[in-house]
Each structure stands twice: as C-alpha cells, then as structure tokens.
A and B are shown apart, each in its own frame.
Chain A
Amino acid sequence: MKIRQLSRSEIDLLRINGCSADDWSQVAITEPVIPERYRNVRFSGTVTISKQDGTIEIDKSIVRPCGIYDSFVKDCQIGENVFISSVKNLVNQRIGNNVVIENVAELVNEGETTFGNGTEVEALNEGGGRTILIFDCLTSQLAYLLANYRNDIKFIKVLEQIIRDYIRTKKSTVGIVETGVRIRHCQIIRNVCFRQYSITIGAAFLQEGTIQGCSADPAIIGEGVVAKHFIILSGSHVDDGAILDRCFVGQGVKIGKQYSAENSVFFANCEAFHGEACSVFAGPYTVTHHKSTLLIAGMFSFFNAGSGTNQSNHMYKLGPLHQGILERGSKTGSFSYLLWPSKIGAYSVVTGKHFSNIDAGDFPFSYITEENGKSLLTPAMNLFTVGTRRDTDKWPKRDRRKDPNTLDLIRFDLLSPFIVEKVLTGIDVLTKLGESAQRTQEVINYKGLQIKRLLIKSCARYYEMALKIALSEEVVHRLERLPANTMLNEIQKSLTFDDKVKNESWRDISGMIATNSSIQKFMDEIRAGKISTVNSTLEHLKAIHQEYEKTAGDWFLCKLEQRLGIEISQILPGQLIQIISDWKENRLKLNNMILKDAEKEFDFNSQIGYGLDGDTETRQLDFESVRGTFDNNTFVCDLKQESESVVVRAEKLFAKLNEL
C-alpha cells in the first residue's frame, strides 16, 4: 500500500468535515482515502494513517465505520481499519490494525518508558532487600528465586542483569496499542503498552504499565481501575475500582471490588477482592475475597484467606521488616492473626490469634489453633479433612489460563515429594518429641507452638498413613503400566530407579516442585553465564518442570526401598503383594476418614438454623432441600467411587502377581 500526502482536494473535503491540521504536509495517508471517515479531527505533528475502508465491531452488535472522529491526534501512526472517536488527546502512539479507542480523555506517551517493565517491587519484605524486577514474562519461579535466594549474591546479580538486558528491549518513546485492542470510556492513560487484543473499558488512571493479551486470552481492565507501574498479563481481569501501585499481575488473575495492592506480585489464577495487599508474594492460586483482609509482607500459594485475616510485620522497633511464609495449600480462618516472622507448613489451617513467632514448617497438614492465648499445633490433622481433598481436586480444574504460552509452572499433586519429605521430617521430630516427653506433661513446646503430648503418636501415625500411600502408589502406577503376563524379571526391571535421587531434597518454587540439585544446577549455569537470556532462563525452568514425574517416581521408590530395607530391583511377588495391600488399606482408610469428616457437614449440628418455623422433620427436610444428603453429595459419591476403584485396581494387581 502506498502511503502519501493528502491532495489539495482531499484536504478541502476533510476541512468541510470539520478537520484541521497544524501542517497538512505532515499528515500522510494510505489509499483509498475516504474523507467521510474523518470528522472533527485536529491533526498535530506527524500523523500517518493506514486505510480506513472497513467496519469494526466496537461492542456486541455495535458495528461502526472505521475512521477517526471528534479527536485530537498528535504524532501517531495509525493502523488499518481502526475506530478512534472522542479522544481528547491521542498523542505519540503507534496504533495497530482493528483497534477501537473511544471516549478517552488522554492516551499519551511522554519521554522514554519501559511500560512498567523493570519496576522494582519490594515484595515479601516491606523493608526491602527482596526486590523483584517485574517484566512482561516474569514467572512465579523467577520471582521466587529473585526474592528468596538473596544469600547468593552473584546469582542474583547475574539474573538481574539478564532481566535488565531484556527490559532494555522494551524501551520506547512511543506508546504502543497493538492489533485488536479495545480502549473505551477511559480517563487518563500515560506511557502504557496495550498488547494484542487487550480490553480496557472505563479505567480511571493508568500510568507506566503493560497490559498483555493474546487473541485466545485477552487481559481485561475494567471500570475505575487506577494502576501505576504495573504489568498485567493475559487472561487477567482487573476491574471494579481496583488500585494497583508497583504490582505484577500474572496470567488468569482476578483483581477487583476495590482491592488495593502495592509492592505486590500475583501469579497464576490468584483472586483478590475487597481487601488489601502490601508487599505480598501471592504465588499461584492465592485467594483473598473479603473486606478487612490484609495480607502483608508474606509469601503464599494455593492459599485461602478468611475474612479479617491479618498479620503484623512492624514491631515498632526497626521498621516494617518482618516477613511470613505460608507454604502451599494453607488457609487462615476468619479474623485470624499471625505475628511475623512466622512460618506455616503446607496445607495447614490457622485459626485464632497468634502472638508468638511460630515455625510450623516441619509439619504439613497441621491445625494451628489458639488455646488460652497459646498457639496449639496439631500436626497431620488437616490430612483427612474434606477441605484439603476438595481443594486439591478443584485447583487443576480452575486453571483459567488460555494463553498458549503459559508462564507459571505448576504441580498440583497433594503428596508430592516436597510434601512427603516434610512428612518424613514431621515423623522424625514427633518421634523425638514423644520420646523425650514425660507422661505427666500435657503439652510440649516446639518453636513457639505447643503440641498436646497425647496426640504425638496419633499425629505420627497419620503421617505414616500419608507416607505409605505416596510411596506405594508409585509401585502401583508402574505395575499398572506393564502388559499382562509380564515376567518377574521385567517387573523388577520396571521398578528400578536412578541412584542419583538417593540424596535429593525437594523445593516448592512457587508452584513448581523441583529437586534441590536441579535448582542448584540452574543457578550454577546462570552464574557461569551459560544461561544468558530471559528466554533461555524460562526454557531451562520448563525443562526442570518436565523432569518432575520421572524424578519424583524414582525418589518415591528410593524412599520405599530405604524404609522397607529391601532391594527393590530384586523384589519378590509376595513383597509386592504386601506393598499393594498396604496401599489399598491406607487409601481406603484415608478416604473413610475424609468421608467421616464430610459426614459432619450433614449431621444434626450442621442443621442449626434450618427449618426455622417448623419441627425436627421440617428442619431435616429444609436442610436436605438446600444442602442435599450425604449419600447424594457429589464429592461423597466420587470419593466412594474412588475407593471402589482402589479395590478393583488392587485386586487386578494381586491376580497378576499371583500368576507369577
């Protein structure tokens, strides 16, 4: 398409349409020129316009002729078939094809910008020192390493340089509005990059940011949003008066209902409504829905904050410099309070107010409750609650990300090696505490917590149950993959594992479960300059993520071998039958315990407030019509079905092994 200056007659026609220009010679246009597609436009500086001969759908069933109407346009390159209408100041923008910009007070670019890339976010520790450089393909893994591996000064320095090199490529003196973008009914927008197909409707103030998108999964910014120094990635919705300052919003995140956040990062599938975040590292699936909920100076993932959840990071001494860690899958009850620094183990529930610094990192699946002003720890209690099981089932189903390039690497397994390693530690610690306790002792003190002595043995037994399930499950999986009539030596071969896993330890890198050695190797390569770009950094992390299943399986077998004291590659059919029998027994036992917990949701106590104006029968009928019955509950039915399937699977394997 040839771009050319306007002819005299075209300028005359545009003038008749109410258009004017500082200098018409600076306005270039692509043929065909259709003068009626330009009305009441003031052109200023250098403006180039591609052809405007089509129509565009600006909202559902509202189709308008492309062109520029009632706007002031200065120093802009405008793509094909756009609809620009009622824009008071459209300045210094590169606008792609099929874009709608309508009813906007100001869309300008001033000076040089990186569109929020390179913003330093003081996450996790409000006092600083764990700065995360945000950019438009930051993952929860990179952010985790940047925030938490500060002990390795060289690694951080090199990694930050890699990121800064990438950020330099984002420098621009021109605003960017890419193909398919919709910007409607907004107020002030300065130095913002709108990537493909992103939608911004009704935003109040956007400054120094990137709104990422793709046709499969546009980012959507809604009414009343105020955002400064930000990155918002594909599939995310930020709306309803949310206020963001120095924030990163990853893929598939929902932030709205007047939520306010500063110096915080939110990764895949987080949800934040009503409350407040300050220096928060919200790993994947961090959810806070309620008013009066403050998350401050903490790191979370797969987390659910009860209403009024609060933490203190400022002890009015040296400043707001304390931080807290809630490992994956934790929950805080309504009006719970935690004093930082504290650490809560994975899949734990915190209720009540805790005025001591507590460290329950060795105890996954714990209940941390308040009793007479003291923090009481009941390890393993949350292993067999219906909530833990339900959460684990729901997270993978709630992955909203549709972008073909998913960034955060996430493992959902409940009994991953990371958790099982903690279970092993938990058993060890409980055993030692139990051995050293006196029978007269009611409680045992441990890292700011109290554990009821009576429960020590039971808690260790619950952990043992989880351990047996996790380790023997790998044997079951491997045997199930073998064809019928497999000979014993082939079975034994299928149960071999790589010796390298023997001394492995596991990490939860904000959603990605990985071995310590793979992370160390990655860091070595960063330090040595073998990985030198953001792209290769992300590729290396993906490769680590993909190693998981093989390495985790090998590690489980290795641990099983150590615990049984046998050489698993020489295992005999009788020993395999025992392992499968244990697996079956413990899976069924755990499911039954979860069912027992679910049953409480239907018992007489749960019916309080039902059948308000009637008798017991009314109460029962009212409850059943609203909540259903235990036997018909979908979760309960699924779990019962799963138990039946466990029995069938075990029987099949027994039959196979008995034939050997």
Chain B
Amino acid sequence: MEKADVRERVKSVVAKVLKMDINQVANDANFIFDLGADSMQSLELVAGFEEEFGIEMDEDKALRIQTVEDAVQFIAGYLN
C-alpha cells in the first residue's frame, strides 16, 4: 500500500476517533499536544488503526506512536 494512501486512512481514523474535521489533522500533528487526545483516546486511535488496516499492533510499540507520521510509518512498515 502506498504511504499516501496509508496517510489518508490514518487521518480519517484520527478525525473519527477525535471527532474533528479531517482537514484539521496535519501530517505532523501530535495526538496529545496538537489534537488534544487523552490517554484513553490514544488507545482508541491504536484500536482504530488496527481495525482500519486489519492488523494487530504490539501494545508496547503502539504506545510509542505519538504523531500521525509515526502511525503512517509504523503501519506502512507493518503492511510491507
């Protein structure tokens, strides 16, 4: 899957979970500091990515994902 495609789908999940407009989700946005996610929403984001891409992310590593770009890199790497 192309990174650009992964990025769009990641942003779509972020917008849905954090209940915001997808246009507000910047590529380099930090989930907590920029988008206001709390710790539970961070977990929800990971779960959302898992469902969207049909993958299972390692709990420990998943918690290190802090930005949209982190998620894109991780998921693209996983899928490839």
A, B: real partners: yes
Residues of chain A at the chain B interface (Cβ within 8 Å) = 367, 369, 378, 381, 439, 452, 454-455, 457-458, 461-462, 465, 588-589, 592-593, 596-597, 600, 604-605
Apart from A381-B43, A461-B56, A604-B33, what are 20 other A-B pairs with CB-CB below 8 Å? A369-B40, A452-B44, A455-B44, A455-B47, A457-B50, A458-B43, A458-B46, A458-B59, A461-B59, A465-B59, A589-B59, A589-B60, A592-B60, A593-B59, A593-B60, A593-B63, A596-B63, A600-B39, A605-B32, A605-B33
B70, chain A: closest CB distance, angstroms: 14
Residues of B within 8 A of A597 (CB): 39
Residues of B within 8 A of A458 (CB): 43, 46-47, 50, 59
CA A286 – CA B51 in complex, angstroms? Answer: 41
CA A600 – CA B64 in complex, angstroms? Answer: 12
CA A239 – CA B59 in complex, angstroms? Answer: 48
Of the A-B pairs whose beta carbons lie under 8 Å apart in the complex, a sample of 13, sorted by A's number, is A367-B40, A455-B40, A457-B50, A458-B47, A458-B50, A461-B56, A465-B59, A589-B59, A593-B59, A593-B60, A593-B63, A596-B63, A604-B33
Determine whether the beta carbon of A455 is less than 8 Å from that of B43. yes
Residues of A within 8 A of B46 (CB): 458
- Most B CB within 10 A of own CB, among A455, A465, A604: A455
A44, chain B: closest CB distance, angstroms: 71
- Most A CB within 10 A of own CB, among B32, B40, B50: B40
CA A458 – CA B59 in complex, angstroms? Answer: 8
- Most B CB within 10 A of own CB, among A439, A462, A592, A597: A592
**B76 close to A (CB within 8 Å):** no
- Over the window 24-59 of chain B, the binary record of Cβ atoms lying under 8 Å from chain A Cβ atoms (1 yes, 0 no) is 000000001100000110011011101100001011
Main secondary structure of the interface of B (DSSP, over half): helix
Q: How many CB-defined contacts (below 8 Å) exist between A and B?
A: 46
Residues of B within 8 A of A604 (CB): 33
Determine whether the beta carbon of B64 is less than 8 Å from that of A596. yes
Determine whether the beta carbon of A378 is less than 8 Å from that of B47. no
B46, chain A: closest CB distance, angstroms: 7
Closest to A589 in B: B60
**Interface size, chain B (Cβ < 8 Å):** 18
Residues of B within 8 A of A455 (CB): 40, 43-44, 47
B44, chain A: closest CB distance, angstroms: 5
Residues of B within 8 A of A381 (CB): 39-40, 43
**B17 close to A (CB within 8 Å):** yes
Residues of B within 8 A of A592 (CB): 60
CA A455 – CA B50 in complex, angstroms? Answer: 10
Residues of chain B at the chain A interface (Cβ within 8 Å) = 17, 32-33, 39-40, 43-44, 46-48, 50-51, 56, 58-60, 63-64
Shortest 9 CB-CB contacts between residues of A and residues of B: A454-B47, A589-B60, A592-B60, A458-B47, A596-B63, A455-B47, A454-B44, A378-B40, A454-B48
Residues of A within 8 A of B43 (CB): 378, 381, 455, 458
Residues of A within 8 A of B56 (CB): 461
A459, chain B: closest CB distance, angstroms: 8
CA A588 – CA B61 in complex, angstroms? Answer: 12
B51, chain A: closest CB distance, angstroms: 6
**Which of these, A378, A454, A593, contacts B17 with CB under 8 Å?**
A454
Determine whether the beta carbon of A462 is less than 8 Å from that of B59. yes
Closest to A380 in B: B43
Determine whether the beta carbon of B60 is less than 8 Å from that of A454. no
Residues of A within 8 A of B48 (CB): 454
A433, chain B: closest CB distance, angstroms: 14
A352, chain B: closest CB distance, angstroms: 12
CA A455 – CA B40 in complex, angstroms? Answer: 9
- Most A CB within 10 A of own CB, among B44, B46, B47, B48: B47
CA A461 – CA B39 in complex, angstroms? Answer: 17
Closest to A465 in B: B59
Closest to A461 in B: B59
CA A526 – CA B50 in complex, angstroms? Answer: 55
CA A457 – CA B43 in complex, angstroms? Answer: 11
Residues of A within 8 A of B58 (CB): 589
Residues of A within 8 A of B50 (CB): 457-458
B14, chain A: closest CB distance, angstroms: 13
CA A604 – CA B44 in complex, angstroms? Answer: 22
Residues of B within 8 A of A452 (CB): 44, 47
Residues of A within 8 A of B44 (CB): 452, 454-455
CA A604 – CA B50 in complex, angstroms? Answer: 28
Residues of B within 8 A of A589 (CB): 58-60
CA A600 – CA B63 in complex, angstroms? Answer: 12
B24, chain A: closest CB distance, angstroms: 20
Residues of A within 8 A of B39 (CB): 381, 597, 600
- Most A CB within 10 A of own CB, among B44, B56, B59, B63: B59
A243, chain B: closest CB distance, angstroms: 40
CA A281 – CA B59 in complex, angstroms? Answer: 38
A423, chain B: closest CB distance, angstroms: 15
CA A369 – CA B44 in complex, angstroms? Answer: 15
B41, chain A: closest CB distance, angstroms: 9
**Which of these, A454, A588, A605, contacts B51 with CB under 8 Å?**
A454
A543, chain B: closest CB distance, angstroms: 41
Closest to A439 in B: B51
Residues of B within 8 A of A600 (CB): 39
Residues of B within 8 A of A588 (CB): 60
A349, chain B: closest CB distance, angstroms: 11
A53, chain B: closest CB distance, angstroms: 70
Determine whether the beta carbon of A457 is less than 8 Å from that of B47. yes
Residues of B within 8 A of A593 (CB): 59-60, 63
Closest to A462 in B: B59
CA A369 – CA B41 in complex, angstroms? Answer: 12
Residues of A within 8 A of B33 (CB): 604-605
CA A381 – CA B44 in complex, angstroms? Answer: 11
Residues of B within 8 A of A465 (CB): 59
B48, chain A: closest CB distance, angstroms: 6
CA A455 – CA B41 in complex, angstroms? Answer: 10
Residues of B within 8 A of A454 (CB): 17, 44, 47-48, 51
A324, chain B: closest CB distance, angstroms: 24
B55, chain A: closest CB distance, angstroms: 12
Closest to B49 in A: A454
Closest to A378 in B: B40
CA A367 – CA B39 in complex, angstroms? Answer: 11
A595, chain B: closest CB distance, angstroms: 10
CA A589 – CA B61 in complex, angstroms? Answer: 9
A220, chain B: closest CB distance, angstroms: 42
Closest to A592 in B: B60
Closest to A457 in B: B47
CA A604 – CA B32 in complex, angstroms? Answer: 11
B38, chain A: closest CB distance, angstroms: 9
Residues of B within 8 A of A369 (CB): 40
